[in-house]
Structure 1
Amino acid sequence: MDNLDLTPQPQPRVRRPRPKVVTLSDTAAERVREIMSRPRQDGAEAPYVGLRVGVKNGGCAGQEYVLEYAEAANPLDEVVEDKGVTILVDPKAVLFLIGTEIDYEVTKLSAKFVFRNPNETDACGCGESVTITPVKLD
């Protein structure tokens, strides 16, 4: 008789896809792609690798969003690909930004990126700073 191993084998755990920390509206993605396709203002040859997003302490409401072009990804960045744009999220900001959509609005007086963040609990009158409560993980 053959030596058959009838011991149940563990099945690999199937992970469900993780939701994106942040997303871009179509308008914001188009604007970021347009800006990033231009030659760099500082004359450097290397293209930017993505858009860096974060949160810092400051302003009258306590926190401010940070949005800048990234030359390289940091080892702990949360990397999000959305609509052809690479978004690098500062690891210290992830819990503050979960569920955020970044939009781009053009009005008669301004053109700017706008954060639609479900974790925002307050904002100052001038619109430059916010109060954000981090997501509580269950």
Structure 2
Amino acid sequence: METENSSPAQLVKISTQVDFIEEQSDHYQDRFVFSYTITIENNSNKTLQLLSRCWLITDADGNKVSVEGDGVVGQQPILQSGQRYRYSSGSIIKTPFGTMEGFYTMKDLQGNKHKIAIPVFGLSIPNIVN
């Protein structure tokens, strides 16, 4: 149950799943390709529209790339209360492991904008860490 002090930013759950794409990667060319699937779950009592995304992608050498843009995969989905939205995309980094993190900007029907944190998640080839 949502209380009056709860904001949509606290009640949107972000889940991630990452896969290494071996056939598109080239270890000798420092090209490591990953796909990721994001699930956004609106647990607030408000209808929210995803307006934009901001990513910070960091490889194992500390190189950082910032990616910003409207929506996700060409869409700006609207999530009713209790609804989920899932999409898949990808990232290419120069090392066998790295991280991604960032935030979505969403707005409610009243036009209020909310910054929804995307917790840091790892990009790594299988069995790289024992």
TM-score when normalising by structure 2:
0.29
Whichever structure has more strand as a proportion of its residues is 2
More helix by share: 1
Tell me which structure has the larger Cα radius of gyration: 1
Give TM-score, length-normalised by structure 1: 0.28
